[in-house]
């Protein structure tokens, strides 16, 4: 047997080098352990904590109408993701596609194409319900995750959508009371939970199981809206907008005594559950954002201003020549061909027949400053402060810029612009003994209401009562059916205004805004309704023929729904 020839000297050197390398590596590892365990301990501990922890889901507060009907709440959905780096032999993309396709109701071939994309994380499905997510979780696929997230749900569909608004959590955007109702998210502090790799809560000695399982919610928000009135207002408005092929419209129902809005119907409407399917013009609340020339409804404020400044009394008359020329501009009554020169007219006649010439004569009895200041006191030209976002100030130029024709045309609702909510609030002050109150859609406790809501005397109670009598008389004497509802007296005024050309000066031919502002009972006003319809089409498009019928239907329902006591039993009741 041949013995191996071993060089002991070379072997000994190799062993020494191996030992040195081993010691060197051991020292490096030891130093690394010392660095990690001592010097970097706090930093690594915090990183590990951050990896284990998740903020508990915080739900927005629920929104209810004044009678407790739920209008908005939070729901939970799940997003399904694939993580290709976790694929393995027994969990290939083909296997995953075969298992998930029937659950997600997706085409298996298209799902496989998704799963084979070269991304670290692949979005498979978004917003699936709990049952679907639980079916997927039971498969225990390592490469699939299904985190939950909250979504805003509006159980009543498109009801009061422009009041409620919507929430876009991804872009951190909101509209309506979803934006202004701060208590919906409030100062709620999210609980910090420690979870394992599978998303299960890690319980320790200090963990309170009840607290962990209890959902975190913002404050409940109650609105002033009455859903039954809101529904009828929307139904009647939509019916008229469709019948006249109008661009848009609104119905505002308000309690003039405290500024509470019982309904704010806006057409066209949208479903806030699918807000991203609509364009901006549909989603925006034009009742607050857009201005329009109020037309003859503004004569209410013109006459009230003259009475309040002492320039007119309820029994005074003005001379109505049917037409009048001021600074080269001809102004005429809408019925000038039928009544070319009515002569001396009183205020009831002016309001009943909507005399433009009469309004001009009344306005010119005041100085520009007197008229301007009184209009401004009514809130024209400034935001009402309503608790909804996006409000416009309207347009009211300083009195110093007025010439005679400007003052004259303002008297019947031109040369200025207002929002529907401004006009509704201004007329509501006449119903409320001259006290203007901030309009609002959020139901505030008494102590908060005192801070939030502004109340100011804009005309004297005597002027307000005189105006109520004049407006009620004009409705009663009018041949139009607008404002004639069963068992109640109504005080109000119709309006028809030409629509300004958005591309330049002047007005669009044959295009108008029709409106009607009125309150009832005239003897003790409790409800104000403002109707505005933009660009109705047809042979007879007037405030009395378009806005008036909408008012009548909504007002009649309101009297029954609220069990209001009639102030004129038998009046306008069909027999």
Domain CATH code at residue 358? 3.40.710.10
Shared domain check, 502 and 413: yes
Which of 204, 223, 242 terminates a domain? The answer is: 223
pLDDT digits (tens, 9 = 90+) for 147-204: 888 889 999 999 999 999 999 877 678 899 999 987 776 544 555 555 555 556 666 6
Shared domain check, 302 and 171: no
pLDDT reported for residue 214:
57
Which of 173, 202, 223 terminates a domain? The answer is: 223
Q: Is residue 324 one of the residues assigned to a domain?
A: yes
Q: What is the mean pLDDT of residues 79-91?
A: 90
Report the distance separating Cα 74 and Cα 97, nearest Å.
31
Contacts of 21 (CB under 8 A, 6+ apart): none
pLDDT digits (tens, 9 = 90+) for 330-352: 999 999 999 999 999 999 999 99
Q: How far is CA 67 from CA 53, 64, 187, 225, 443, in A?
A: 41, 8, 26, 8, 11
pLDDT reported for residue 532:
98
Q: Is residue 421 one of the residues assigned to a domain?
A: yes
In the numeric block, the tokens 């951190």 are attached to 172
Q: Tally the residues of the chain.
A: 575
Asked if 96 contacts 141 with a C-beta cutoff of 8 angstroms, the reply is yes
Which of 223, 240, 267 terminates a domain? The answer is: 223
Q: Is residue 472 one of the residues assigned to a domain?
A: yes
Asked if 296 contacts 493 with a C-beta cutoff of 8 angstroms, the reply is yes
Q: What is the mean pLDDT of residues 215-238?
A: 92
In three-state secondary structure terms, 268 is coil
Shared domain check, 282 and 191: no
Shared domain check, 309 and 362: yes
Shared domain check, 273 and 219: no
> pTM of the entire structure?
0.85
Q: Is residue 19 one of the residues assigned to a domain?
A: no
Shared domain check, 238 and 172: no
Shared domain check, 338 and 235: yes
In three-state secondary structure terms, 356 is helix
Shared domain check, 451 and 404: yes
Report the distance separating Cα 433 and Cα 430, nearest Å.
6
Label residue 24 exposed, middle or buried (CB < 10 Å: 0-12, 13-18, 19+): exposed
pLDDT reported for residue 505:
81
Shared domain check, 278 and 380: yes
Query: How many domains are contained in the chain?
Result: 2
510 lies in which domain range?
227-561
Shared domain check, 557 and 413: yes
- Average confidence score pLDDT of the chain: 90
CATH (domain of 154): 3.90.1310.10
pLDDT reported for residue 148:
87
In the numeric block, the tokens 């020839």 are attached to 5
pLDDT reported for residue 56:
54
Report the distance separating Cα 555 and Cα 483, nearest Å.
9
pLDDT reported for residue 172:
75
What whole-number percentage of the chain has pLDDT above 90?
Answer: 75
């Amino acid at each position: 047997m041949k013995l191996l020839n071993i060089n002991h000297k070379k072997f000994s050197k190799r062993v020494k080098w191996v030992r040195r390398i081993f010691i060197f590596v051991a020292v490096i590892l030891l130093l690394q352990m010392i660095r990690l365990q001592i010097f970097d301990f706090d930093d690594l501990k915090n990183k590990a904590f951050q990896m284990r922890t998740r903020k508990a889901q915080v739900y927005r507060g629920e929104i209810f109408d004044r009678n407790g009907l739920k209008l908005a709440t939070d729901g939970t959905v799940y997003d399904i993701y694939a993580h290709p780096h976790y694929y393995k032999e027994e969990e290939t993309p083909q296997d995953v596609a075969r298992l998930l396709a029937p659950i997600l109701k997706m085409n298996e071939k298209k799902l496989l194409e998704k799963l084979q994309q070269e991304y670290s994380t692949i979005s498979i499905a978004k917003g699936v319900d709990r049952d679907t997510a639980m079916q997927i979780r039971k498969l225990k696929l390592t490469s699939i995750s299904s985190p939950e997230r909250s979504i805003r749900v509006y159980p009543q569909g498109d009801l009061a959508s422009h009041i409620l608004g919507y929430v876009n959590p991804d872009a951190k955007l909101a509209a309506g009371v979803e934006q202004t109702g701060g208590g919906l998210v409030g100062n709620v502090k999210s609980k910090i939970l420690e979870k394992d790799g599978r998303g299960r809560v890690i319980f320790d000695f200090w963990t309170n199981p009840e607290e962990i399982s209890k959902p975190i919610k913002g404050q409940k928000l109650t609105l002033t809206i009455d859903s039954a009135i809101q529904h009828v207002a929307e139904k009647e408005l939509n019916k008229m907008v469709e019948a006249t092929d109008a661009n848009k419209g609104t119905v505002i129902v308000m309690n003039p005594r405290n500024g509470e809005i019982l309904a704010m119907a806006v057409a066209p409407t949208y479903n806030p559950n699918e807000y991203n399917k609509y364009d901006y013009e549909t989603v925006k609340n034009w009742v607050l954002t857009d201005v329009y020339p109020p037309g003859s409804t503004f004569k209410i404020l013109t006459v009230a201003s003259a009475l309040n400044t002492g320039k007119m009394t309820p029994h005074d008359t003005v001379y109505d020549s049917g037409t009048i020329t001021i600074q080269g501009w001809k102004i005429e009554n809408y019925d000038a061909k039928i009544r070319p020169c009515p002569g001396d007219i009183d205020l009831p006649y002016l309001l009943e027949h909507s005399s433009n010439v009469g309004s001009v004569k009344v306005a010119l009895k005041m100085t520009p400053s007197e008229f301007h200041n009184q209009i401004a006191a009514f809130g024209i030209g400034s935001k009402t402060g309503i608790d909804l976002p996006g409000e416009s100030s309207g347009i009211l130029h300083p009195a110093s810029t007025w010439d005679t024709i400007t003052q004259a045309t303002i008297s019947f609702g031109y040369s200025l612009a207002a929002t529907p909510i401004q006009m509704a609030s201004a007329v509501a002050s006449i119903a409320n003994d001259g006290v203007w109150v901030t309009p609002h859609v959020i139901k505030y406790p008494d102590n908060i209401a005192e801070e939030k809501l502004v109340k100011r005397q804009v005309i004297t109670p005597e002027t307000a009562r005189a105006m109520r009598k004049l407006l009620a008389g004009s409705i009663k004497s009018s041949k139009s059916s607008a404002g004639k509802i069963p068992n109640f007296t109504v005080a109000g005024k119709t309006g028809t205004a030409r629509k300004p050309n958005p591309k330049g000066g002047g007005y669009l031919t044959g295009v108008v805004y029709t409106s009607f502002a009125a309150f009832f009972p005239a003897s003790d006003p409790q409800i104000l309704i403002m109707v505005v319809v933009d660009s109705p089409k047809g042979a007879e498009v007037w405030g009395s023929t378009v806005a008036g019928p909408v008012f009548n239907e909504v007002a009649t329902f309101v009297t029954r729904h609220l069990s209001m006591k009639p102030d004129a039993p038998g009046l306008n009741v069909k027999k």
